[in-house]
Structure 1
Amino acid sequence: MSEKKLTVFTSFSGQGGVERMVLNLVEAMAAQGAPIDLLALKADSDHLRDLPEGVNLIRLKARHSSTVVPELAAYLRQQRPAAMLVAKDRPGRAALRARRKAGVKTRIVIRLGTNLSAALEHKPAWRRWLRRWPLKRGYRDVDHIVAVSQGVAEDTARVAEIPVDKISVIRNPVITASMLQAAREPVEHRWFRDHGQPVILGAGRLTVQKDFETLIRAFARVREKHSARLIVLGEGGQRASLENLVEELGLTDAVDLPGFQRNPHAWMRAADLFVLSSRWEGSPNVLTEAIALGTPVVSTDCPSGPVELLQEGKFGPLVPVGDVEEMARAILLTLRHPLDSETLKSAAREYTAENSARRYLETLF
């Protein structure tokens, strides 16, 4: 067995950005010659249909990180990979317990993509403690942590009380050849066919975190001064309340929520403006994708990631979280004076899958 054998372990719990980024990374690392075992919890995701050559998918019987330790320990004892990359916190802590149980020396690197302090800010004190205490205890044994942004790195060091030299910042593998190709597909939506008014786009789960309520209210202010339309892609628990808000504001002819879309990149490329309205992020992939496709953007200055990608506003306005008036002003400004597409694309150069894979392999081995 090669001493350079690599294992990637994560939970495929849905259609989310983490799963997509993990597979972009796995594909790019395999293309650079790394033999990879992909250990998957909940391995029924559509993301796993077309894995590249050199990637061996192992579907774990366990369905949750809390029950996977014996199975994971048996794998480590038998296969003894040189390194294991784990995406997400709970699988990461399970991997550390499994390594202790197996008695092997596999190097464990955990990828973290969330600003935990911001995510827990409005939770009860006992919930905050319940999330932070395992980090402080569990991460003492981790070999290294990869954070998706400098903000996530600093937050993790503070929350988990670990030295900053145990953490590297590696940008997400957002830009791939398949993404750029998919973006060229036509969008079959009436507002892109008639070209009568500029189309503003938002995308993400319809949840409190994404704060599409602020975007819709800001859009209502924009419509007082500038003709435009708003499309929000995605599904989630806030659909009914957002639809009620659209009706309450008299925007039913100007706002559309068409649900989850298989190819959001084509919508991003076709849009006149992309807006990220989130309350918090780790590194916002949708914002990176929009910029990589040359679409002008507006973003909240949420923790963390947008300020790094947009270089403190150089590549798009940053507005305070939840500020309807400032978001409306930024949207109007960008509609009237958009940056050119080539300038925007230059901001996303660090976020290619090839660059990310190279940095990960250097960190893992």
Structure 2
Amino acid sequence: MVERQDPWLTIVGIGEDGPAGLSEASRAALARAERVVGAPRHLALLPDLTCPTEPWPVPFEQGVAALLARRGERVVMLASGDPFWFGAGGTLARHLAPGEWIAHPAPSTFAHAAARLGWRLEDTACLGLHAAPFTRLRPLLAPGVRAIVLVRDGPAAAALAGYVAGEGFGPSTVTVLESLGGPNERIRHAQAQNFAFEDIAHPVAIGIAIAGDGPVMPQTSGLQDDWFAHDGQLTKRPVRALTLSALAPRPGELLWDVGAGSGSIAIEWLLAHPTTSALAFERDPVRAARARANAARLGVDRLTYVEGAAPIILADHPPPAAVFVGGGLSETLLTTLTNLPHPTRLVANAVTLESEALLARWHATKGGTLLRIELAEATPLGTRRGWRASYPVVQWSVIL
């Protein structure tokens, strides 16, 4: 248990109802404060302050150094609702030691929105997209899904409705929830495809009940190939599913995707869990750009692409939990990868006879599993059908 005997910083969650919604602990912290900082809108909600006030700058990070310089003062930082749910609390806590701060949350915007909509929060996707792309919603777009999304302002709300409609889910019900919990609260509904509100006030949350017949992203490994833009350099769906199974992504893990091509392996690794991360190494700048676009469109813009040739480009990056080699397989590359911190899961796919022989030698020395994947697809053959075989893929998986 961490003791917070005399923190200099108190993070106070505040809602649109201003002083009326403050807890007793929040009121006491404000009464003792030597300085109150926060967004101008939040400061305006507390007009009876007697200590000096300081507006927080935009962008948010610019205010952190000035706040830390006030150590020794009793400072109250105002934040929207629950500071640790898409709020300022988590950002500030990274810069502070235990005992330096304490937080008094108020009901979050998500809680207010769920209470107005009658939605169970545990069954509702909650996203903060103030400064993040709307494509993060893409994996969730499926009929019956409900989401509450925090957005920057009215134009962003309209743009979000347009994005949902543009993905094929125009019949979705979009609920605009403005200034929840305050005297200016307003709630309106529209279909995404008919969204025409132009007078939306900040702060605003959007409730979306997804409906429509747009394409739905499967939740298992092995997306259909047409989800990815590519130039032919793509790990095909059945092989990709087997590869992801061998890589076995786990929460919080980092993948190195070497010779990433279209980025399909790294993208599906990121789709496996919101806390996974991936570095994609690709020497072709055109392919790298295409893969970045694939990742952004499929809702995993956190993919980091590194342009350059392996193994030289691999130096000075955080060590991975798993490595996939889909291109540029060589003796030098495998030797480099054996110097990674142990244990590291390695999966390498080979198509050429030379690469297959290389993996066979390494399997004989290092062990692991050597798998030959031979696939054939039924295709027209005159008036009948026949099997069209793909190049066999040899897959080596091992724990280094």
- The verdict on a shared fold, with TM-score over 0.5 as the criterion, is no
User: Larger C-alpha radius of gyration, 1 or 2?
Assistant: 2
* TM-score normalised per structure 1: 0.28
Q: Larger RCO: Structure 1 or Structure 2 (Cα < 8 Å, ≥ 6 residues apart)?
A: 1
**Greater percentage in helix:** 1
* TM-score normalised per structure 2: 0.26
**Greater percentage in strand:** 2
